[in-house]
Structure 1
Amino acid sequence: MTNSTEKPQDSKNESSYNLIHVENTGSKITQIAFNGNNYDEWSQSFKLALLAKGKLGYIDGTITKPSDSDSKFESWRSANALVTLWIYNALESDVRKQIALRPEAKQVWDNIRNRFCQANDARVYRLQAELMACRQGPTESLMAYYGRITTLWDEILENDPLPSCSCDPCRCDWVTVMDARREKKRVRDFLIGLDERFDNARSHILGTNPLPNLNFAYNRLLQEEGVRNLTVQRVDTKPEPMAFVTRVNQGSRGQGGPRNDPPAPSIVRTRCIACNRSGHNYKVCFRVTGLFPEWWGDRPRDRIIVDTSDPNNPVVIKPDRGKERRHNTTNTQPRAHMAAGQSSTPSQQPATSSFDINNMTPAEMVELKHLWESHKSASTDRLNGPFLEDADWSM
């Protein structure tokens, strides 16, 4: 009876001593390297890797060192040296310099744990502070945020486990009640740290009675994120509106043939130098050409003269109505006829139908004064006759 119970233990120890060809001294059994600040994460990953290889007993003390005369001593020493090298390979160079090389893997492991592992209370305090400050970033995905907060929950539970039931077997359903309370707390923690873009979905989940479990909340928010990302992609791939511009047609289109003319430049909105209005130039301005439109009505139709002797630099000579009228009435004879009361033929009428004395130049004012005085003198001479005292009225 005694022999049958010892055989499984001996078989287990035998498998722990065995080495296979893939277990070499230069391999890294975990992808997480210990940098001095991530002991919890690194130790858990390293323990899982050793458990998968059947070598966890070399650091937790379940596999003890046999005596030198034992037939298993050489196998133990080889496996122990291999685990020791695995530990050193999992340390970053700065930490590796601080760890002294020991003959047993358990001694190296205990040295690292005693130096870098925090006390449970201090570690739980730090983890709780990180959990309270855990928030989803504006551009962080829901999966990345869920992974960060799940890691904190697992570490807190490992270092501060829930109290267990004293019943054997359990009849008070204590474990079920505590698990339900822990689940609700995790749902609240998860929803508190969500980014504001999930406000609507968060309100919907909180309004559900009873509060759904964590998996349901995560799946609901994951669907919301998928719909949001699809909408954003559609908006990004939507073509931008075309900017329509008016272009000058510089080419010609053949009858039934393709248009081969080069792309015409966009029309630049110019300003007329004659009337100071935009949208046309002086060449087509009706104030210059004299082709006044019907909507101009009874307003003065004074033309504006533009000097085009230099095509590259046209100059406005008569930009106002008074000066234009003076430019078109260079002959002063019609004014004399009008002042003298003589009739004028249509060809002798001034070109303009309006008269503004305020726009006359000093020279024209002097000329007008002379004309008026001459007219006055001529009229007086015609009306002069004998006074009452004169004897002869026949003259």
Structure 2
Amino acid sequence: MAHTNAPASPWHTGQSAIDDPMSPYFLHHADNPGLTLVSQALTGDNYTSCNRAMRIALSVKNKLGFIDGSIEKPSNTGSNLLNYLTRNNNIVVSWILNSVSKEISASILFAESAAEIWQDLKERFQQSNGPRVFQLKRDLINLRQEQDSVSVYFTKLKTLWEELTSFRPMCNCGKCTCEGVKKLDEYFHMDYTMAFLMGLNDSLAQVRSQILLIDPIPPINRVFSLIVQEERQRTLGSQRA
């Protein structure tokens, strides 16, 4: 395991490290090497979504420190803490191996640390922002409902939009007091709604026009609900006929 410049771990004693549920060294009885943390394995093209899913899962397990290098190797190589670190590292490595395709798994099998594997996958599969943003925007422009139900079409749109959102700069300083940030956020969500409405089939043009007349435009979930209601009414009407 490589040394980092991160502050030393607060879990100095071996016993407290493994017994305290708040410690990154704590392992629940269900935390075994065969555990699969994400439903979709990394194949390469889906790096962004898999990375996000894995980070969420590892955060729940309190193991993010083993992939971002924030947990230091104990200076005392004979301490119990080193054993606990090695054990946890190997558990996280196993979880990563279970979350990638067989081909990718073979290429990272002999890496020593979870952080090393994580960085390797990032360097290999993370696309630079420009090409990926271009691809997402192109897919959004070309996305149409066609033979899909409104729910299926919306799910496809939402998947593209949320990944695109992950590239969007966000203000997290907590010091912004003007209305500018709020207005930008509202405009961004209006774009989301417009993208959804634009891809709908022409058979829903009437309800789409009615929604566009509402000022301000309702939130995307409300618009989705209105469109789904119209779709259901049409389905019921055709069944009665």
Identity among equivalent positions (%) equals: 31
My pick for the range that moved more, 77-86 or 146-155, is 146-155
Aligned-pair CA distance for 1:204: 1.2
Give the corresponding residue for 1:319.
none
For 2:172 and 2:121, how far apart are their aligned partners in 1?
Answer: 34
Give the corresponding residue for 2:60.
52
How far does the alpha carbon of each residue in 1:359-387 deviate from its partner, in whole angstroms, 9 at most, with x for none? xxxxxxxxxxxxxxxxxxxxxxxxxxxxx
8 Å CA contact 1:58, 1:105 repeated in 2: yes
How far does the alpha carbon of each residue in 1:110-135 deviate from its partner, in whole angstroms, 9 at most, with x for none? 10110011012222111111111121
For 2:68 and 2:232, how far apart are their aligned partners in 1?
Answer: 45
How far does the alpha carbon of each residue in 1:285-319 deviate from its partner, in whole angstroms, 9 at most, with x for none? xxxxxxxxxxxxxxxxxxxxxxxxxxxxxxxxxxx
Give the corresponding residue for 2:3.
none
Q: Quick check: 1:226 aligned with 2:235?
A: no
Provide TM-score, normalisation by structure 1: 0.53
* Counterpart residue identity of residue 21, structure 1: H
Structure 2 unmatched ranges of 5 or more: 1-6
Structure 1 unmatched ranges of 5 or more: 1-5, 236-395
Aligned-pair CA distance for 1:9: 4.3
Q: Quick check: 1:118 aligned with 2:127?
A: yes
Distance 1:137 1:70, change over 3 A: farther
Give the corresponding residue for 1:186.
192
Look up the SS of the partner of 1:30 in the other structure: coil
Provide TM-score, normalisation by structure 2: 0.85
Work out which structure has the larger RCO, using CA pairs closer than 8 Å and 6 or more positions apart in sequence: 2
8 Å CA contact 1:83, 1:105 repeated in 2: yes
Matches within 5 A, 1:1-395: 9-10=10-11, 15-67=23-75, 68-138=77-147, 140-162=148-170, 164=171, 169-235=175-241
Choose 1 or 2 for highest CA Rg: 1
Aligned-pair CA distance for 1:189: 0.7
Q: Stretches of 4+ moved more than 6 A in 1?
A: none
Distance 1:169 1:161, change over 3 A: closer
Look up the SS of the partner of 1:218 in the other structure: helix
8 Å CA contact 1:165, 1:174 repeated in 2: no
For 2:230 and 2:216, how far apart are their aligned partners in 1?
Answer: 21
8 Å CA contact 1:26, 1:89 repeated in 2: yes
For 2:208 and 2:235, how far apart are their aligned partners in 1?
Answer: 17
8 Å CA contact 1:33, 1:42 repeated in 2: yes
For 1:52 and 1:197, how far apart are their aligned partners in 2?
Answer: 44
Aligned-pair CA distance for 1:231: 2.3
The structure with the greater share of residues assigned to helix is 2
For 2:104 and 2:166, how far apart are their aligned partners in 1?
Answer: 25
